[in-house]
Amino acid sequence: MMSTAIFLGAGAAKVEGAPLQNELVKMCARSFQQLGRCPNVAGYLKDFFGIHCLQDDLEKTTFPTFEEVIGLIDLAELRGETLRWPLVEGFNADNSIHTLRLVRDELIFMMSWFIDYYSQEEASGSYECLLSTLNSRTLLDRNRVIFLTSNYDLLLEKALSKVYASKKINYGVDFARVEGEKLWRPTLNAGLKFYKIHGSLDWLYCTTCNNILLKYVPISSSLDYTNSLICTDCLSIREPVIVPPTYYKSMSNVFLGSVWNNAENALRRVTRVVFCGYSLPDADMHIKYLMKRAQTNRASPVFSVVVFNHYSGKDERVAEEEEVRYKRFFGDKVVDYTRKSFEEFVADPLPYLT
């Protein structure tokens, strides 16, 4: 059976990418200056980057990128090392590890808040439109279309509740618990296949119980953030299942491993992948790895790629380089690099499906 995978990149959500990378650390600083939130990030910025959130003019300050801030913490943890807090007396290594994790939690909380805030602004209209069309041709019921994304937002879930409330979602992961009320429930059998390979704003992982919870609402939606993370079974602090966009992506989480394996198995059976709002950046080697495995290890030789990543005013040189990236990786004959946008695909998706 012919089927198509639709890959939703940052450009299909318009809420991640450049603005997030550039603004997030500044937002944390401003949030501390005005509301006293993110105290650990503020301390980290002071001690490691010389930024005084209470005294400095934040508009004139040059901030480190999100990648730099979280990358230092990720690498220290990966290497089993700690960072010395230069200005704090009596600070020992245990404190340092603990505080670094708090900094990381605050950054991820702010990222969740930011993505959720902007994805509410950004109406999920495109997703609704796409799902309506697919649903009207019963393509969702027959599993002729599956979805993959590197985004964490809940845009597709929101659209699905409007278009097709009874449809279940198969995330490729077994949730031990589901909190809250929604018409749809996750499933591992039938259902719309939707693989969120970097996690989701509403997934929480308990490292003590070794299970995963689906909250239906973003982790940042509770004002009492820390309390909302506590596992009701063992009282440990649950961790968000969000892999930040760093170069040191840890795919070691067992639940993300399950998503990954299910995604790979599903991709091996599709005859086409439609990339939306995704530029196939050099840094995303793990996504290329997933795609190449699916392209080469398959029963059916048919595998084609269609790309929708255009927008008005896009630099021609950027588009050309992108086309070359896609063609050199998947093969000249396989790739149809349209000069069309995600919105254009959504308006008329059927000709591009197999």
Binding site for Zn ion (CB under 5 A): 206, 208-209, 231, 233-234, 236
To Zn ion, the closest distance from the beta carbon of 79 in angstroms equals 28
Of 142, 121, 139, which is closest to residue 131 (Cα–Cα)? 139
Judged by beta carbon, residue 81 or residue 233, the one nearer Zn ion is 233
Residue (168 or 177) nearer to Zn ion, CB: 177
Which residue, 232 or 297, is less far from Zn ion as judged by CB?
232
Sign of CA dihedral 181, 119, 169, 174: negative
Query: Would you say 233 or 348 has its CB closer to Zn ion?
Result: 233
Buried b (16+ CB within 10 A) or exposed e, 235-254: eeebbbbbbbbbeebeeebe
At closest approach, how far in Å is the CB of 234 from Zn ion? 3
DSSP letter string, 297-339: S-SS---EEEEE---TT--HHHHHHHHHHHHHHH-TTTEEE-S
Measured from the CB of residue 254, what is the shortest distance to Zn ion in angstroms?
A: 15
Nearer of residues 27 and 231 to Zn ion, judged by Cβ? 231
Tell the smallest beta-carbon distance from residue 204 to Zn ion (Å): 10
Residues in the chain: 354
Would you say 27 or 213 has its CB closer to Zn ion?
213
* Burial class of residue 135 (count of CB atoms within 10 Å of its CB; 0-12, 13-18, 19+): middle
Shortest Cβ 218–Zn ion spacing (Å): 20
In the complex, what is the shortest distance from the CB of residue 225 to Zn ion, in angstroms, rounded to a whole number?
Answer: 17
Q: How far is the CB of 221 from Zn ion (least distance, A)?
A: 21
Q: Where are the alpha helices (DSSP H) in the chain?
A: 18-35, 39-49, 66-78, 93-121, 125-136, 155-163, 225-229, 254-267, 285-296, 316-330, 342-347
Q: d(Cα 48, Cα 68) in Å, to the nearest integer?
A: 11
Please report where in the chains the tokens 């093969």 appear, as a residue: 331
Nearer to Zn ion, 24 or 206 (CB): 206
